[in-house]
């Protein structure tokens, strides 16, 4: 057989182990795996790592890039701000173009800064501006907790009741995933009471990709602004934030971007807002116009672009690993990653249907435009115990209450043979 993975359809899949090996041998991205240091268990045994949706593995280039910054710090100290290969004063500027390519934005619209929750708070301060009866915030029910915490804290700080201000869209009865029509209907229903829509671009629990362009358009039609938490989307699914006309977005870099625990996060602000220097914001020294910054003036003059939301110096030691990751993404090209991702996740689901009991179900949508790497597998009974048993066999995935095991075959480092073996291991555990 000579069919490349990117050209396969589900109808052509086979359950044979030799077939999985063939897919790996014909995979044009197979060599990308060697760019990572993949984890081992306590005994030193290599594991099948399917938790890139929680924390991506470390690119090998990370050690070199971190060591270069340590050497600069040790050898130049304060002079490292303006000397060396990566002067720290302008270090954040390097991320504009690669991040822009990854999220479908113009360089002026993106900035690498802070952590995800910090950036959510900064964006809420600027884009949730309750006035008159237009005060409500619409989000999805069951959002990742950091979104709920951030939104409800802003409401309370302003002396309002989240129960009266925050509107949550739920999946329909008996369904795990959302229907985008329910978002648009809720937005229309709230009408001129709605100030902001803020939802997760990819749901962390089900892996569902929400229809971000439609949600954005509906919010704007109602006179509201619209932003997204892209923690589970960036580096996972195609994004076109500028063309979708989103007002803002935030993401972390330690999941599919493989930039390490606590790595610097990212933020998008559409250029119509990024160039609006009058938009209210929390001010910090690093958001000041760099021409004025070192003059130590009392007046804050934000620099145009997303950079104007920065608060403080770039965190160099947590930013350097992101360079290693983004260089890898650029070298491969996201279109190629997406092609493999769709085939790899479809193949894993195909195998699960042939090996796991019928009581199990994949709740991630089947439509390719509604999924990324992650497959959420509903396992009635002891899903937590199943995840533990998989871990003991060397298949690292994770469990989410009440009954879901999440497995994310990532195209940069996971193999088709691993998807084949995982499905068989799950089937054996569940069948006893």
pLDDT tens by residue, 168-181: 999 999 999 999 99
Sequence-distant (6+) residues with CB within 8 A of 117 are 146, 149, 150
Q: How distant, in Å, are the alpha carbons of 31, 230, 338, 347 from that of 26? A: 11, 32, 16, 15
pLDDT tens, position by position, 219-251: 999 999 999 999 999 999 999 999 999 999 999
Mode of pairing for the β-strands spanning 266-269 and 110-112: antiparallel
Residue 302 · residue 275 · CB < 8 Å:
no
| pLDDT above 70 as % of the chain | 97
Q: Do the Cβ atoms of 37 and 395 come closer than 8 Å?
A: no
The second-level CATH assignment, the architecture, of 66-329 is 3-Layer(aba) Sandwich (3.40)
Q: At what angle do helices 61-76 and 316-332 cross, to 10 degrees?
A: 140
Domain boundaries, the chain: 5-37+334-431, 66-329
pLDDT of residue 157 exceeding 50: yes
- The CA distance from 430 to 119, in Å, is 42
| Residue 405 contacts residue 397 (beta carbons within 8 Å) | yes
In this structure, are residues 52 and 410 in contact, taking their beta carbons and an 8 Å threshold?
yes
Question: Residue 398 half-sphere exposure, CB side, CA atoms within 13 Å?
Answer: 14
Whether pLDDT at 6 is above 60: no
Among 418, 426, 419, 411, CA closest to 32: 411
If you compute the radius of gyration of the chain from its CA atoms, what whole number of angstroms results?
Answer: 22
- Measured distance between the N- and C-terminal CA atoms of the chain, rounded to whole angstroms: 35
pLDDT at residue 294 in the model: 76
Span 100-119, average pLDDT: 98
Q: Of the ranges 7-11, 191-195, 317-321, 423-427, which one carries the lowest mean pLDDT score?
A: 7-11
Q: Residues 337-357: pLDDT tens digits?
A: 999 999 999 999 999 999 998
Torsion of CA 42, 44, 45, 46, to 10 degrees: 100
Q: What phi, psi does 59 have (nearest 5°)?
A: -65, 140
Low-confidence winner among 114-123, 289-298, 418-427 (lowest mean pLDDT): 289-298
Q: Give the model's pLDDT for residue 10.
A: 53
Q: What would the mean pLDDT of 109-120 be, rounded to a whole number? A: 97
Cβ distance 177 to 171 under 8 Å? yes
* Proportion of the chain above pLDDT 90, given as a percent: 90
Prediction pTM value: 0.95
Query: In the prediction, which pLDDT does 9 show?
Result: 53
Residues 260, 321: contact at Cβ < 8 Å? Answer: yes
- Range 5-37+334-431: architecture per CATH: Alpha-Beta Complex (3.90)
Which pair of tokens denotes residue 161? 């009741």
Does the CA dihedral 413-416-421-427 come out positive or negative?
Answer: positive
């Amino acid at each position: 057989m000579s069919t490349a993975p990117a050209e396969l359809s589900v109808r052509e899949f086979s359950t044979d182990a030799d077939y999985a090996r063939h897919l790996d041998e014909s995979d044009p991205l197979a060599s990308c795996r060697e760019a990572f240091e993949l984890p081992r268990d306590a005994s030193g045994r290599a594991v099948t790592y399917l938790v890139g949706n929680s924390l991506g593995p470390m690119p090998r280039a990370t050690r070199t890039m971190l060591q270069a910054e340590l050497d600069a710090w040790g050898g130049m100290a304060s002079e490292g701000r303006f000397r060396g290969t990566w002067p720290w004063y302008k270090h954040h500027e390097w991320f504009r173009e690669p991040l822009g390519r990854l999220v479908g934005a113009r360089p002026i619209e993106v900035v690498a800064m802070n952590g995800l929750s910090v950036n959510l708070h900064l964006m809420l301060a600027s884009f949730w501006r309750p006035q008159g009866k237009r005060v409500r915030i619409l989000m999805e029910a069951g959002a990742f907790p950091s979104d709920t915490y951030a939104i409800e804290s802003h409401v309370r700080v302003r002396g309002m009741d989240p129960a009266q201000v925050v509107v949550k869209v739920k999946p329909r009865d008996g369904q795990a995933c959302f229907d985008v029509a329910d978002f648009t209907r809720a937005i229309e229903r709230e009408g001129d009471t709605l100030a902001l829509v803020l939802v997760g671009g990819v749901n962390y629990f089900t892996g569902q990709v929400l229809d971000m362009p439609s949600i954005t358009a509906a919010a704007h039609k109602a006179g509201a602004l619209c932003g997204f938490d892209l923690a589970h989307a960036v580096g996972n699914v195609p994004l076109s934030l500028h063309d979708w006309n989103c007002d803002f977005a935030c993401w972390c870099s330690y999941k599919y971007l493989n930039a390490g625990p606590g790595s610097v996060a990212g933020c998008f602000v559409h250029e119509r807002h990024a160039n609006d220097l009058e938009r209210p914001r929390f001010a910090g020294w690093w958001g000041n116009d760099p021409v004025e910054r070192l003059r130590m003036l009392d007046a804050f003059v934000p620099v145009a672009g997303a950079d104007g939301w920065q608060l403080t110096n770039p965190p160099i030691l947590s930013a350097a690993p992101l360079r290693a990751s983004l260089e890898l993404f650029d070298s491969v090209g996201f279109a190629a990653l997406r092609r493999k991702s769709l085939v790899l996740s479809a193949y894993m689901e195909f195998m699960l249907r042939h090996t796991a009991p019928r009581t199990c179900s994949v709740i991630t949508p089947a439509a390719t435009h509604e999924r990324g790497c992650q497959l959420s597998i509903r396992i009635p009974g002891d899903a937590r115990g199943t995840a533990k048993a998989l871990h003991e066999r060397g298949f690292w995935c994770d469990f989410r209450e009440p009954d879901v095991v999440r497995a994310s075959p990532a195209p940069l480092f996971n193999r088709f043979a691993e998807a084949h073996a995982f499905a068989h291991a799950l089937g054996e555990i569940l069948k006893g």
